[in-house]
Amino acid sequence: MSRAGYRQGIPLRKIANFITFQAAWFAAVLGAAHGMPWLGVVAVPLALALHLALSPDWRPELLLALAAAVTGFVFDSILIAAGMFSPVPYILPSPFSSLWMVMLWMNLATTMNVSMGWLRGRYALAAVFGAFGGPLAYYSGAKLGAMTAIPPVNALLAIGVAWALAFPLLLKINEVVQKQFARGKDDII
């Protein structure tokens, strides 16, 4: 890489991260909406692989993505069981979260140290961001056809509360994972 390319590496990486995130999000959501929910299960791991290849240390990034998958599976499964939304099913039966939705949480994890790295340590702001961004993403996905129905206002409010908790939680998980690897504790993975 040229010196000019090296100096621009961080901004270019942020732009590439944002574009890759959006492409994988739309692949997953539009795939589910058009009878191809497997598309997100393919697109997100490809986006994750690119993210890991571009990361200075792939291990904490992979651990964060796996933690995000578990977190998302739990949060979304609770919301589905409570009747707050109903995604297009894939692989797992209701009330469990669809696999393509779990992939979206992994996709989100790829942004947490790059294009959304500005939120690190800002838990209150992350809660506000989650409270508005979560319902907006679910509503948008529903409007694109990735859910069996558009969530009503009360459901969007519940999704907002869940995301106001989930997003800061993911930031905290990220902080813990990053600190572990910064200390040289390679025995995590």
pLDDT in tens, 119-135: 999 999 999 999 999 99
Tell me whether residue 35 is in a domain.
yes
Tell me whether residue 179 is in a domain.
yes
- Where residue 3 falls among pLDDT bands split at 50, 70, 90? very low
The residue-averaged pLDDT of 138-142 equals 97
Question: Which residues span the domain enclosing 111?
Answer: 3-184
Percent residues over pLDDT 90 in the chain: 85
Cα-Cα-Cα-Cα dihedral sign, residues 119, 120, 122, 125: positive
Mean residue pLDDT of the chain comes to 92
The total number of structural domains in the chain stands at: 1
Burial class (CB in 10 A: 0-12, 13-18, 19+), 123: middle
- Where residue 9 falls among pLDDT bands split at 50, 70, 90? low
The residue-averaged pLDDT of 42-70 equals 97
Whole-model pTM: value is 0.90
Percent residues over pLDDT 70 in the chain: 92
14 has a pLDDT exceeding 60 = yes
Tell me whether residue 178 is in a domain.
yes
Rounded to the nearest angstrom, the gap between the alpha carbon of residue 146 and the centroid of all alpha carbons in its chain is 16
Tell me whether residue 34 is in a domain.
yes
Tell me whether residue 95 is in a domain.
yes
φ/ψ region of 145 (left if φ > 0, alpha if ψ in -120 to 50, else beta) reads left
Tell me whether residue 189 is in a domain.
no
| Element housing 153 (H / E) | helix 153-182
List, for residues 160-183, the tens digit of each pLDDT value.
999 999 999 999 999 999 999 888
Tell me whether residue 92 is in a domain.
yes
Cα separations in angstroms, 148 against 24, 41, 129, 152, 163: 21, 19, 26, 12, 21
Tell me whether residue 177 is in a domain.
yes
